[in-house]
């Protein structure tokens, strides 16, 4: 079992949403040190101040653009020197555009893949050598139920989460073959009520998830070294139905009966900061 107490924990996108909640709950459970990576300076400052007010002084904030590989490498070097080996890494930061594919700009596509796929892989890559040297480590990759089913207005996001799911499972097998105390947990939740997916409509018998419940489930899965966490339970039906049903039948069952294909019809997402210049607005990465 993976313990939370006395462990160094790093969470990307950790100043907002479920990343912030995972951080606070880890501190409550006795984490030795919490490292927060986030791109939003204001949120980062508020989160650190909030945690310190609650008596948690073992928190180290770092401004990191997950879309920038060189920045990931540079900040990882600082973390390893200043904090030490990371015991539990949560790849949590992510972004969604929520448009028909033909409406995407090249920048929309590149940004989604850079943050949701390349950022996840490179963050794991830079911390794995120290984990391997120590002989222990746990990587938690927050994917999505979108990685299990097609969905209109989510084509690029779904592609990014399908990529994370395949990579994460492959990484798990590689790490298990090393034969030491390594674990990889992949989380594939449906929509979570954090603001990232404001405006979406919940599929049939698949409610919008409460972030407090989801983070409790994630921490439990980590402590139990679970391989996959799908939430809610109905998400477990997706691989089954897609595996046994002909594609057109699944389109009818998933798209018409369960309403999956209409969930993004009225998507709003987090409000845009229109006052920011384009380059700064591009840094307002949404976190699940």
Name the residues annotated as catalytic.
157
In sequence order, the β-bridge partners of residue 93 are 287
Distance CA 262, CA 264 (A): 6
Distance CA 288, CA 285 (A): 10
Distance CA 12, CA 286 (A): 11
Distance CA 216, CA 264 (A): 26
Distance CA 135, CA 138 (A): 11
Distance CA 225, CA 74 (A): 30
In order, the DSSP letters of 160-190 are HHHHHHHHHHHHHHHHHHHTSEEEEEEEEE-
Contact 211, 166 (CB under 8 A): no
In sequence order, the β-bridge partners of residue 11 are 36, 90
User: What are 38's two structure tokens?
Assistant: 């986030």
């Amino acid at each position: 079992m993976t313990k939370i107490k006395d462990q160094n924990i790093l969470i990307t996108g950790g100043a907002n949403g479920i990343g912030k909640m995972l951080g606070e709950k880890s501190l409550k459970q006795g984490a030795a040190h919490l490292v927060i990576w986030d791109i939003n300076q204001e949120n980062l400052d508020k989160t650190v101040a909030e945690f310190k007010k609650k008596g948690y002084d073992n928190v180290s904030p770092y401004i990191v653009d997950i879309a920038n590989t060189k920045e990931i490498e540079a900040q990882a070097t600082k973390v390893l020197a200043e904090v030490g080996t990371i015991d539990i890494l949560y790849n949590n930061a992510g972004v969604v555009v929520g448009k028909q594919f033909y409406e995407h700009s090249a920048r929309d596509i590149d940004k989604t893949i850079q943050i949701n796929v390349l950022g996840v892989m490179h963050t794991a890559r830079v911390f794995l050598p120290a984990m391997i040297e120590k002989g222990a480590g746990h990587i938690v990759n927050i994917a999505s139920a979108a990685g299990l089913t097609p969905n209109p207005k989510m084509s690029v996001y779904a592609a990014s989460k399908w990529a994370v799911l395949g990579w994460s499972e492959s990484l798990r097998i590689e790490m298990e073959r090393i034969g030491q105390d390594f674990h990889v947990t992949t989380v594939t939740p449906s929509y979570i009520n954090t603001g990232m997916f404001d405006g979406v409509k919940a599929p049939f018998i698949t409610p919008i998830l409460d972030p407090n419940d989801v983070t409790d489930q994630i921490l439990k899965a980590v402590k139990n070294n679970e391989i996959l966490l799908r939430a809610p339970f109905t998400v477990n039906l997706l691989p089954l139905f897609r595996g046994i049903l002909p594609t057109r039948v699944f389109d009818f069952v998933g798209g018409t009966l369960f309403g999956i294909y209409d969930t993004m019809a009225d998507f709003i997402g987090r409000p845009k900061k229109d006052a920011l210049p384009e380059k700064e607005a591009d840094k307002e990465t949404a976190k699940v």
